[in-house]
Amino acid sequence: MTSVSDPNPHVNHDLTSVLPRKRAELSASGEVPRRTLDREWTIVAPGRVVPPPRRDPTSFGGFPANALDRARGHWLNHPDAIIGGWSACPFHNLVPDWADSAPTMLYADRCHTGGTDTATAVQTPLRAVVYPVPADGLPVIRPDPHLPDLMVVDAPTAVVQCLSSVLDGRHRWRALGIPQMRSELICGVQLVDAFRHSTGVECDAVRAAAKNRIAAARLSTVLNLSDGGAESPMETVLRLLVLECLPPGYRWVSQLDLGRGRWGGTAPDLACPELKIALYYDGASHDSPDVRARDKAIDRQLESEGWQVLRFNRADIGVASVRRAVRAAVQVALDLLRMPGLAS
């Protein structure tokens, strides 16, 4: 195999210990009855199965299982390979499930097979896409504590490989539309935000890994819109929606720490400290009565200190409604600033 650079391992202890097993061995040993294997176990790679509950392919865009199970299954069949592209995402603790509906990608010293266009690859869901290892090697980590020899491309390489497929339209997911912004760009910014949040990868490292892979101007457009403070894809969308709502000279800050040490504190998803506007995207975790009560208490405290608080959720977030609400808050803040003695 072509030599690869191998930085210090970054073990991900959150990975499940349940590994794909050889179907033939299970059947021959009698450990699992043939009928049970057929009905309850899931084939994740040729000859490799994982135990119940049986996976529903519709949950993974037509692939038989999640990206982690499939990547491990293919690697166990080809332990000389390096896992790359979307298949590397679960090893980097990427929370969104975009990788689950993408083909498995391996780098190995063999001929190129398959293509990374998801719409085509899903027609042969048990077949991995294989690329030869580049002549100058690949930077890798060994993140799997249950398969310590398994190699995965490092975070900058993985984000570039995935971003390339998004910008070229080879892999996509549904994102809220934003006027004058292509869906590929929105998804690309969501992807980079998620990688920055989960791995701490820096934009300079992404630029270095993207050399000769993504045009510099195209990459800069994505990175200039990215913010590692976004903790979910919808927070990214919220930020992109309101970018143009602030007048010149003002800026949004992600996860601005407010009030810590005085009343417990809070960190709005976006805040404009000069105008004292705080924006939150409330996901499903905010639906419980206890969390709603906590949110209301936070809102009251911030409002008592002169902040305007706006909260949005998936049900009510939309381009027109969000921008209208934020622009109204901006106008109120600017009016206060123009009134001597009233702005704090």
Residue type, 15: L
Cβ pair 63, 70 in contact under 8 A: yes
User: Could you read off the pLDDT tens digit of each residue along the chain, which spans 344 residues?
Assistant: 444 444 444 778 789 999 999 999 999 999 999 999 999 999 999 999 999 998 899 999 999 999 999 999 999 999 999 999 999 999 999 999 999 999 999 999 888 899 999 999 999 999 999 999 998 899 999 999 999 999 999 999 999 999 999 999 999 999 988 988 999 999 999 999 999 999 999 999 999 999 999 999 999 999 999 999 999 999 999 999 999 999 999 999 999 998 765 666 789 999 999 999 999 998 766 667 888 898 999 999 999 999 999 999 888 888 899 999 999 999 999 999 887 755 44
Interstrand relation of 48-50 and 21-22 (parallel, antiparallel or unpaired): antiparallel
Q: Where are the domains positioned within the chain? A: 21-225, 233-337
Query: CA-CA distance, 250 to 53, in Å (whole number)?
Result: 51
In this structure, which amino acid lies at residue 195? F
Instruction: Identify the bridge partners of residue 20 per DSSP, sorted by sequence position.
Output: none
* Distance in angstroms (rounded) separating the CA atoms of residues 151 and 79: 9
Q: What is the pLDDT of residue 318?
A: 83
How many other CB atoms are there within 10 angstroms of residue 33's CB atom? 12
CB pairs under 8 A, 24+ apart, for 26-33?
none
Domain 233-337 fold is Endonuclease; Chain A (3.40.960)
pLDDT at residue 343 in the model: 47
Determine the distance from the C-alpha atom of residue 277 to the mean position of all C-alpha atoms in its chain, rounded to a whole number.
27
Query: Can you tell me which residue has the tokens 């690859």?
Result: 121
> According to the model, what pLDDT value does residue 284 have?
65
Answer for the pair 202, 195: CB distance below 8 angstroms, yes or no. Answer: no
pLDDT score, position 5: 47
Report the C-alpha gap between 89 and 196 in whole angstroms.
Answer: 12
Dihedral sign (CA 140, 117, 235, 248):
positive
Beta bridge partners of 43: 49
Phi first, then psi: give them for residue 312, nearest 5 degrees.
Answer: -130, 150
pTM of the predicted protein model: 0.91
Rounded to 5 degrees, φ, ψ at 135 are -60, -30
How far is it, in rounded angstroms, from Cα 297 to Cα 139?
48
